[in-house]
Structure 1
Amino acid sequence: MALHSLTLAWRNLVRHKSFTIINVLGLSIGITCCLSLLVFVQYETSFDAYHKHASQTYRVVEDFKNPEGTLHWNTTAYPLAEALRNDFQEIPLVTQTAGPLHRLFKIEDAQGNVSRYEEDRVMMVDPFYPKVFDIAWLAGNPETALLQPNSAVLTETLARKFFGDAMKSHESVLGKHILLENKDELTVTGLVADAPMNSNLRYTMLIPYAFFKVNNPYFSGNWSGNYQGTTFVVLQPGQSAAALETRIAAWKKKYLKPEDDKRISYALQPLTEAHNDELYGAGPQGYTMPQKFIFAATGIGFFILLIACVNFINLATALAANRAKEVGIRKVLGSSRFGLVKQFLREHSLLIVLSLLVSLALTQGVLRYLNTALAIIDLKLAMDANVLLWALGIGVVVMLLACFYPALVMSALRPIEALKSKFSGRDSRGLSLRRSLIVFQFAIVQLFIIATIVAATQMDYFRQKDLGFSKDAVLITYIHNGKDHETFRQRLLSNPAVADVTFSSSSPMASYDYRYGTSYRLPAQPVEEGKEAEMKGADANYLSFYNLQLLAGRNFTKVEENLSEFIVNETLLKGLGWTPEEAVGRRLTINEGEGTVVGVVKDFHNESLQEAITPCLLINWQPFLEFTSIKVSDQANLAETVSFVERTWKSTYPEGIYSYEFLDDALARKYALQQLVFQGFTSFAGLTICIGCLGLYGLLSFIAIRKTKEVGIRKVLGASVRQIVMLFSREFIVLLLVAFAVAAPLAAWLMEHWLQDFAYRISLSWWMFVLGAVVTLAIMLFTIGYKSVRAGMANPVDALRNE
């Protein structure tokens, strides 16, 4: 009997091919979107949860108070970990890291061939680190591998990169030597598996913290500074983090200077919350996925699935009219309503199974696309057993949302009316529900279209806004040892394709992942009254290279071996209450020393456009000139110029590793998250439009069949094709306007909330909402057009011959 029922279900699906195809496509798209977003949400909420002590591990974060407010840092002073370990015996484990850091390595093989490598994820860790965090050891002793300062533990991928064919086995790399920064020899003492992608503690090499401490005595002993050190503590089961925070608040005065004790406070943040926390951020070289984006992704997946279910309900109830006689005959022959419900549910279940199979294949492709499109954040989404469970769960949800009501409607037909073909689908409740569902669909479609328009306008604003400096055709390369500046400059300028060269710590808007911060104050002011500022190293050519406007004073004349002069921006002067003319010649004290203000430049955007311009000091101090900016004048032969720069760099710095980036590409990275949001809006708008069009087309097919005789009569009485088109369109246009009244205020609220995150932003305008409605109307009319025109051009005799 079950096989017979399935056979009947399959035959009915085949008989109504267009409805089957539309339903399978609509449900498949909706389920694919929902599954893909669930995989994304699972990935982004699973960071560092795999460690066995994850639920008891906390990151120590720092709040730093200054006259302008409180700064929130995910890094802490390097000496903090050892002090906590010594003074708080009730804390089972304390560990710390430095980095991940950028380092250069040189390796010589048995034949004397030398290879050089550049690594961005070199992390310094203490011996407690493997006890706090789970590491899969492939070779070496975890208890001793990090005890000697000149040791190195490599990941498997890095070991194969370094040693290639010489790596015969995991144990074969132990004892091999690596030269760090052309001076320090490290011995490989361990080999570990690559760190999982869903970890904020990503590394390719682990070096003992003792090595960092020996080579960086100032940083490792400085309680006032905050660099790239991160401290973690593991609490005992049941131990209160809040109580420990209270004890630390009273204890810290033992080590901090009185002025620092007033400004600095520590908090304990659960490790599993770090990745989704906007206040403190994920950590050095990590990225943060805000919790609001997680909620948004979950909500979007649910709504798109809901739209697909709405399509299903509309089409299934519409189809009830076409199957009225079938239901009547079944009831006359003795079928119960319960039996009919089961039959229709089998048909719908078969549809859902087909949709699930299609969506699983589509989801695999979508995840591959997302991994490629979001490579900037190293996204690694993949299907696993959970996806199959979610697919099963979604199938059950779709069954509950979309199947029961149509089955009840179809099974409730009265046999006499059904056999007389008096069922027309005009039941007031059914019609009201269908209209409500169509309004819901149109509202969601318009919401996504309006959001896409707003996001596109904001992104265009980012691209077009004047940043206060020149950024076009600028190539940036790193100078590892910071020497031979003038030699490199003159060699570059010998090529007519190179227009200008400057040396600095960064471009006006820092294009790399880190920048230098400091605090500034008058020499007579106490340390605690210092205000935060960005500090940029710059040579005498920096202002003209980037077209920064000097408002008062003079430019630097040369690079100094010691700190002595500042050029400051307007925003910094506002904090001091000076005019540009008053500032010239005044003395300022920063964390690094004291100097004289020799010039004032017009404000430029030193932060991305999400943030307001901040106080900034330029210093002409040799140790901070780490990058070369090269302006290319010959765009036609760009590849040749880039090749020339590379040859010149390698001949000047033969011990280094060359890399470069164009400034405009680097600056575009600053808006990666916003670009992700924009792409998301665009993609989801496209999906909702696609699902909505499928449902609308199917519904129109039903209406065209239902109105066949009405259209024929109207044509006999002289109705034109245009009037027939209006007959089909009128009700949908009214429903679209109702949907617009729902979608517009909701879109305005959501997008205004999104735009609040930007210091420099567009204002919402009426045309964005009108354009959203017009686009939706155009899509609707395009979808309606084919069916309605075809119905209007049909021969009325064919429609009336059976009457």
Structure 2
Amino acid sequence: MFKNYFKIAWRTLIKNMLSSFINVIGLSIGISACMVILIFVRYESTFDNYNTKAENIYRVVQHNKLPDQTLYWNITPYPLAEALRNDFPEIEMVTQTQGPISQEFSITDGLDLKRFEEPRVLFVDQFYPKTFDFEWLSGNPNTALDGINSIVLTEDIAKKYFGNRGGGYESILGKTVLNQGNEPLTVTGIIKNVPGNSNQRFDILIPYELFKTKNPGLAQNWSGNHQGTTFVVLQNPGLLKSLESKIASWKKKYLKPEDDKRVSYFFQPLADIHNETLYGSSPGGYIMPSNILYTLSVVALFILVIAIVNFINLLTAQSTSRSKEVGIRKVLGSRRLDLIFQFIFENSMVILGSLALSVVFLNILLSQLNENLSVIDLQLELGLNHIGLILVIGISTIILAAFYPALILSAFKPIRALRDKVQFSKRDGVSVRKSLVTFQFVIVQLFVIAAIVVSLQMDYFKSEPMGFSPDAVVMTPAPDLGKSEVYRQSLLENNNISNVTIASGPPMAVDGLQLGTSFRLPEQSSEEALDAEVKIGDSHYLDFYEMELLAGRSFTTNKEAFDEFIVNETLLKPFGWSPQEAIGKKIQTNEGEATIVGVVKDFHNNSFQREITPCIIMNWTFFQNQAFIKIGGNNAETADKIKEIWNNTFTDSTYSLSFLNDSIEKEYVLEQLIFKGFTILSILAICIGCLGLLGLMSFVVSRKKKEIGIRKVLGANILQIFSFFTKEFIGLITLAFIIAAPLVYYFGNMWLETFAYRIELSVWMFLSGGCITLSIAIITCSFQSFKAAMVNPVKSLRSE
């Protein structure tokens, strides 16, 4: 029986070659797109799940209550970990990390000294390897970080420094790596590269004790700026609430009274870190909000539904061509159940072929996605753990796409079928086929209009004035303040360099180049202090970035003990000062008191997702460790010259160069992901939809050849015949637009409200999406329509 089913199925596929090809390609594109999205969603929602203690690990987070707002930090004071470890025996384990930060290393290779700048160096204590699970290729995780001068390398770094050694990783143990050019560290362990879906992003581990030795003041500081991250392991998650309650009263033991009132500590589950937006991303990581993942899951379902609807639509449209076959078989005694099994078998063959082809497409798409999103170190791959997903999608597709057409095909009445008078039933005047086409294009237009909205918001990020000029600016380290002015003057001797400033960071916070403080009037209490950002710039800072000075002046010099502030407009609002009134006023920060000598027009010190916040620029030599260079002419030639000058000036450090605009773009990684996603999905949805239209038009034209011939004999021209075929689909697509537009407006507004600075939705955005979809659909229909209209009517009438 199955052999007979297979023969009939194969002959049917060969007979309807075009429609079979369209069905296979359309369905395989839909399945592969759906699987890519679901694999990505699974990847992003399972961060750190590989840890055996994942359910019991929590990150300690900090709430800072200020008079005007509450700040939510994922970093905590450095001494917190040791205090928790000593005072709360019910906590199974506490571990402390600092970073990741950029650090310079070097090794001796024969007579050569090789230097490396590593951007992901993490300081960790000896409890870290016992808390998180990493695959150790060499060394003892229980003792590797006990020595203060030890260092643990990942597999890639070990190969980069020491190559592929014949003795394996064991031969690397005991080797020496110089930290900052002069501090010998001994390799005590090699671990496998950190999985991509991990919030613990590092390439090198160094003992936290070394950081404490070098920074004793910071290591014992319970307030101020800090970048430490504290994790705890609870024996029982049921202890969480009682432990947070105890800590609420316990913290007064260590905090100043004003800090005790302001600061609260809470525990955040490890599983929530990557998808929770409240506390921001982990140092060196990124956030993928859970609502985005939910949306992507729905999008994946829609893509698959479009492909399945397309499949069903084409099969049901072709069903009249097999009505006589059904009639004859029923007259000869076939039961409807037998016919259902046969058609399910036939359709399942097509679906299985599509599924096999989709796996090929899937590997290509995953590779492209990893390459396009390398900025977040995406590591998607098709593995054995995805077999279940493929089976679920395949079985679901067979149930949905094979069963319904089989019911339709097997339901024909034998007498009507043999007379070739089969008609599809209608309900409320709308056929099933029309409903499916409308539903399909509702989803298509959702994607198209959404892609337009997202692209316009992304363009807004790029085109909206930021209040400073980031164009043609490159950044290099300035590791020695004593040589910074020499470096600056040497650079300015080059005709392709117009200006140089030495500062802590650019006006917009990028790459973690951001410092925080609080500010108040000297006569106010610390409890009344408000939050602000600190930037440390030299006398060239304002001129370099073309920032508008509203009142006062720029700095004339930098000092070890700062005495001047330049502030933005937003900082003046709590005091009700005008820019002119602020000049000469004193304000108090965490770092000390100084006089306001200048007020600059507000600039975007944060990315466009966030409001402009109070900002203070200091004339301080502290943290002036970045050089910003405005270049012109040949970028490659100028970059080579900058490197030469840098190497001659800072002989014991490692050179690096990056463009400021590139760093600013990294602040919109998530938005770029959404933009690329909707663009690709729109193209896929249009392709699937147009394949469906092409198949339907091919079938309709083949069924109406005689009618076309008669119309031409009666005087119909090509445009009239084209109109005859396309007006129905144009009406359905217009109806789809009317349904899709309000949905996009609602969800588009919800998404745009997450940005402090955003575009406003306009009617033309929606009309553009509708016109694009309609134009592509008309072009698709026109191919078959004009082909049919050009046929000689005599030939059409004879062929019938």
TM-score norm. by structure 1 comes to 0.97
Quick one: structure 1 residues 578 and 238, their matched pair in 2 at CA, closer, same or farther if it must change by over 3 Å? closer
In the alignment, structure 1 segments of 5+ residues that lack a partner are: none
Asked whether 1:705 is paired with 2:705, we answer no
Distance 1:479 1:157 in 2: 28
The one-character-per-residue Cα deviations of 1:633-679 (angstroms, maximum 9, x if unpaired) are 3x2x2221111111000000011111111222222222222111111
Alignment-derived partner of residue 29 in structure 1? 29
Quick one: structure 1 residues 429 and 409, their matched pair in 2 at CA, closer, same or farther if it must change by over 3 Å? farther
1:429 Cα deviation (Å)? Answer: 8.4
Contact 1:504 1:538 in 2 (8 A): yes
Contact 2:30 2:303 in 1 (8 A): yes
Distance 2:429 2:155 in 1: 63
1:421 Cα deviation (Å)? Answer: 1.1
In the alignment, structure 2 segments of 5+ residues that lack a partner are: none
The one-character-per-residue Cα deviations of 1:171-228 (angstroms, maximum 9, x if unpaired) are 2222222221234222222222222111111222211111111111111111123521
Letter aligned with residue 50 of structure 2: Y
Asked whether 1:353 is paired with 2:352, we answer yes
Distance 1:233 1:756 in 2: 35
Distance 1:195 1:167 in 2: 24
Asked whether 1:142 is paired with 2:141, we answer yes
Q: How does 1:671-686 map to 2 (within 5 A)?
A: 671-686=668-683
Contact 2:504 2:513 in 1 (8 A): no
The one-character-per-residue Cα deviations of 1:47-96 (angstroms, maximum 9, x if unpaired) are 10111100111111111111121111111111111111111111111111
Alignment-derived partner of residue 81 in structure 1? 81
From 784, 788, 792, the equivalent of 1:791 is 788
Letter aligned with residue 89 of structure 2: Q
Distance 1:255 1:533 in 2: 24
Letter aligned with residue 379 of structure 2: K
Letter aligned with residue 637 of structure 2: E
Alignment-derived partner of residue 314 in structure 2? 315
Contact 2:225 2:515 in 1 (8 A): no
Asked whether 1:16 is paired with 2:13, we answer no
Alignment-derived partner of residue 465 in structure 1? 464
Contact 2:537 2:617 in 1 (8 A): yes
Asked whether 1:650 is paired with 2:647, we answer yes
Alignment-derived partner of residue 641 in structure 1? 638
Alignment-derived partner of residue 716 in structure 1? 713
Alignment-derived partner of residue 410 in structure 2? 411
1:627 Cα deviation (Å)? Answer: 1.0
Alignment-derived partner of residue 743 in structure 2? 746
Distance 2:464 2:690 in 1: 37
Distance 1:755 1:167 in 2: 56
Q: How does 1:542-557 map to 2 (within 5 A)?
A: 542-557=541-556
Contact 1:535 1:618 in 2 (8 A): yes
Letter aligned with residue 785 of structure 1: S
Letter aligned with residue 23 of structure 2: N
Q: How does 1:572-611 map to 2 (within 5 A)?
A: 572-611=571-610
1:433 Cα deviation (Å)? Answer: 1.8
Q: Secondary structure at the match of 2:273?
A: helix
Distance 1:738 1:604 in 2: 45
Alignment-derived partner of residue 304 in structure 2? 305
Q: What is the RMSD of the two structures over their aligned residues, measured on CA atoms?
A: 1.6
Alignment-derived partner of residue 99 in structure 2? 99
Contact 2:224 2:590 in 1 (8 A): no
Distance 1:777 1:501 in 2: 53
Letter aligned with residue 609 of structure 1: F
Alignment-derived partner of residue 362 in structure 1? 361
Q: Secondary structure at the match of 2:286?
A: coil
Distance 2:705 2:386 in 1: 45
Letter aligned with residue 57 of structure 1: I
The one-character-per-residue Cα deviations of 1:431-483 (angstroms, maximum 9, x if unpaired) are 62211111111111111111111112112222211111122211211112333
Q: Secondary structure at the match of 1:83?
A: helix
Letter aligned with residue 729 of structure 2: F
Alignment-derived partner of residue 240 in structure 2? 241
Alignment-derived partner of residue 276 in structure 1? 275
1:430 Cα deviation (Å)? Answer: 10
Contact 1:101 1:123 in 2 (8 A): yes
Alignment-derived partner of residue 514 in structure 2? 515
Contact 2:123 2:208 in 1 (8 A): yes
Q: Secondary structure at the match of 1:379?
A: coil
1:714 Cα deviation (Å)? Answer: 2.3
Distance 2:429 2:207 in 1: 71
The one-character-per-residue Cα deviations of 1:363-384 (angstroms, maximum 9, x if unpaired) are 0000000000000100010000
Q: How does 1:485-564 map to 2 (within 5 A)?
A: 485-564=484-563
Misfit runs of 4+, over 6 Å: none
Alignment-derived partner of residue 68 in structure 1? 68
Asked whether 1:729 is paired with 2:726, we answer yes
Distance 2:427 2:753 in 1: 44
1:286 Cα deviation (Å)? Answer: 0.7
Q: Secondary structure at the match of 2:622?
A: helix
Contact 2:569 2:601 in 1 (8 A): yes
Q: Secondary structure at the match of 1:239?
A: helix
Among all aligned residue pairs of Structure 1 and Structure 2, give the percentage whose two residues are the same amino acid.
Answer: 51
Letter aligned with residue 783 of structure 2: Y
Letter aligned with residue 519 of structure 2: Y
Distance 2:186 2:784 in 1: 75
Alignment-derived partner of residue 392 in structure 2? 393
Alignment-derived partner of residue 257 in structure 1? 256
Quick one: structure 1 residues 226 and 619, their matched pair in 2 at CA, closer, same or farther if it must change by over 3 Å? closer
Contact 1:537 1:621 in 2 (8 A): yes
Q: Secondary structure at the match of 2:314?
A: helix
Distance 1:261 1:648 in 2: 49
Contact 2:605 2:613 in 1 (8 A): yes
Letter aligned with residue 229 of structure 2: T
Distance 2:136 2:512 in 1: 30
The one-character-per-residue Cα deviations of 1:118-141 (angstroms, maximum 9, x if unpaired) are 111111111111111112222222
Contact 1:98 1:228 in 2 (8 A): yes
Alignment-derived partner of residue 203 in structure 2? 204
Distance 2:320 2:429 in 1: 12
Distance 2:456 2:497 in 1: 35
Residues matched between the structures, number: 800
Asked whether 1:50 is paired with 2:45, we answer no
Contact 1:536 1:624 in 2 (8 A): no
Distance 2:166 2:157 in 1: 11
Q: Secondary structure at the match of 1:483?
A: helix
Q: How does 1:653-672 map to 2 (within 5 A)?
A: 653-672=650-669
1:238 Cα deviation (Å)? Answer: 5.0
Distance 1:483 1:337 in 2: 91
The one-character-per-residue Cα deviations of 1:2-26 (angstroms, maximum 9, x if unpaired) are 2222122112111111111010011
Distance 1:563 1:288 in 2: 36
1:424 Cα deviation (Å)? Answer: 4.1
Distance 2:159 2:720 in 1: 73
Alignment-derived partner of residue 120 in structure 1? 119
Distance 2:618 2:166 in 1: 47
Distance 2:438 2:135 in 1: 54
Asked whether 1:478 is paired with 2:491, we answer no
Letter aligned with residue 663 of structure 2: A
Distance 1:727 1:194 in 2: 62
Letter aligned with residue 713 of structure 1: I
Asked whether 1:435 is paired with 2:423, we answer no
Quick one: structure 1 residues 166 and 576, their matched pair in 2 at CA, closer, same or farther if it must change by over 3 Å? farther
Distance 1:671 1:145 in 2: 38
Letter aligned with residue 292 of structure 1: N
From 768, 776, 781, the equivalent of 1:779 is 776
Letter aligned with residue 709 of structure 1: K
Quick one: structure 1 residues 167 and 89, their matched pair in 2 at CA, closer, same or farther if it must change by over 3 Å? farther
Contact 2:225 2:517 in 1 (8 A): no
The one-character-per-residue Cα deviations of 1:102-160 (angstroms, maximum 9, x if unpaired) are 11112224x34211111111111111111111122222222222122122122222122
The one-character-per-residue Cα deviations of 1:689-724 (angstroms, maximum 9, x if unpaired) are 000000011111222123223323322322222221
Contact 1:424 1:706 in 2 (8 A): no
Alignment-derived partner of residue 402 in structure 1? 401
Distance 1:519 1:238 in 2: 35
Contact 1:445 1:688 in 2 (8 A): yes
